[in-house]
A and B are shown apart, each in its own frame.
Chain A
Amino acid sequence: MVNYILRRLMIMPLLIFGVTLLIFAMLQFLSPVERAALFVRDIPKTDKAIDAFIIKYGLDDPLPVQYWHWLVGRRDPSTSEITGGILRGDFGYSKTANLEVIDMIKRRFPATLELALWAVAPIVLGGVWLGVLSAVNHNNAIDQVTRVFSILGYSFPTFVFGLLVLMIFYVGTGWFPPGRLSNEMNVVVLGDAFHRYTTMNTVDALLNLRLDVFIDAARHLILPVLTLSYLNWALLLRVTRSSMLESLRQDYVTTARAKGLAEHDVIGRHARPNALIPVATIAGLLILLLLNGVVITETVFNYPGMGKAAADAAVQLDVITVLGLVLFNGIILVLSNLIVDITYAFLDPRIRLD
């Protein structure tokens, strides 16, 4: 167990190092002038100034030197001021957001986190419930309906599903608008009387006891959450279903039935808890799917999170910004996978034996 966790912990820095190397490699496709946005916001226009600039920031240094400066920043010899350096949290300057990339992430991350947090409960509960339902009714009508539902779910591209629900629930009925807040509520939220503790609107609204703001924020969240959940149910449903089918075939389930337990208890207390262990392994995959999903979902619903920032920046070819976001998300992913792996070792005794 300790060995297992230690090994995971040792691989992690290696992975993060690999991630930074790969991102640095992608940076090398950019011209030195484009890379200058890593260090400064104003890039000179004239050729002469550009040459001086490239030398000043070492944009034509050997690659290992550049990599080092990219990691820890570069000290200006004359002013001894340090610029850049992803380890210092300086990811460069975002042209599209008109902000330091890191400030943009700070501003956008709570919005994405709010969306993801709201989506997790429906995805997990719905997916597991459907999977168990499907397995318990193996091969009968309910199973078939659930499977059709699930195949449709993973056949629908996120943006097509998003546009369709927008068509019905926004254009058609006007119930759930796109965006993050309506204009009136935005004024309230940005006003002095409203304390922004987390900058997650639904949470802040509750902390400020403003039910009207909460309802407005929730109205804006429902469609993106619905989109993210429906498309991810398919995966959870499939894993839960097959693991539950496996579990239902075990001897202890037969024993439970033989000793006369009600079917409800056989499933709820014997089969399902064991079936859920493999389901926990895909938690990491789920985080990956959510990080991917928010890019498109936020773009379709015009929701101002990290995903939309990435899409906007990519369209305008603002590579520094997108790379900053990829780095940030990649590290989130590595760390969350580590947590998932360790949790899994606690959940499943068999894995500790490795």
Chain B
Amino acid sequence: MIRDITIGQYYPSDSRIHKLDPRVKIVSTLLYLISLFTFKSIIGYALATLFLFFCVRMSKVPFKFIVKGLKPIIILLMITVVFNLFLTPGGKLLFHAGVFKITEQGLRTAVYMGIRLIYLIMGSSLMTLTTTPNQLTDGIERLLRPLNRLNVPVHEIAMMMSIALRFIPILLEETDKIMKAQIARGADLESGNIIQKAKAMVPILVPLFVSAFRRANDLAMAMEARCYRGGEGRTKMKPLVYRSSDRIAYGIVLAYVITAFVAGRYIPFKIWIF
């Protein structure tokens, strides 16, 4: 049951996108997401769609993997679309039944909002699917380094993230073990309503927390014994270096962002109301 959770799911492959520097992927994803919110007409979204499909093809990640990422947000998506559809005033009235009214403006916002949300999730899933959690933390650490001057402990945050990732499988295994141990002692984890089930979790969470603290303590000692003293004076085994493919990727993304921004905002092209 617990083992189904996959955080930072990664789809191993050797595509060009997988091999890009994580910084390129993080920055490009951010730019792509921002671009989605600048369009005023359908032409911008058409370009965004093309670009997204181009990237998915390049990454060799099966399309259904990326669609899978949409599952958890389906409810949120429905709510957003429905609310926008019925509650936005403005424009010609298209449909009217009792209190439900759909205006031209409403239909437009609903469709745009839906597309934006879907692409937002697809774009960021593509990033996590093609980047290992480790590369991701490395990339974030490097990108946020300027914040060091504002006394933000960037290295420490990145270190915490990568240690957390390392301990997820260990703690999951431990949870499993504790659950079995408690079931063997007669704990009833399955029956009852939600409150009873939550109460039944207490004898699992308490030992789990105790052991997590013990592990943290041990790990801190082991790190100190291996001369860990924060980010200062530390060298990298796998430093991030931009290669020519990374520069080309930046170029392609910039070209997309500029074209889509200009086309989506200033080219007066319309299909019906969009």
Partners in one complex: no
- Listed in ascending order, the chain A residues whose CB lies under 8 Å from chain B are none
- Listed in ascending order, the chain B residues whose CB lies under 8 Å from chain A are none
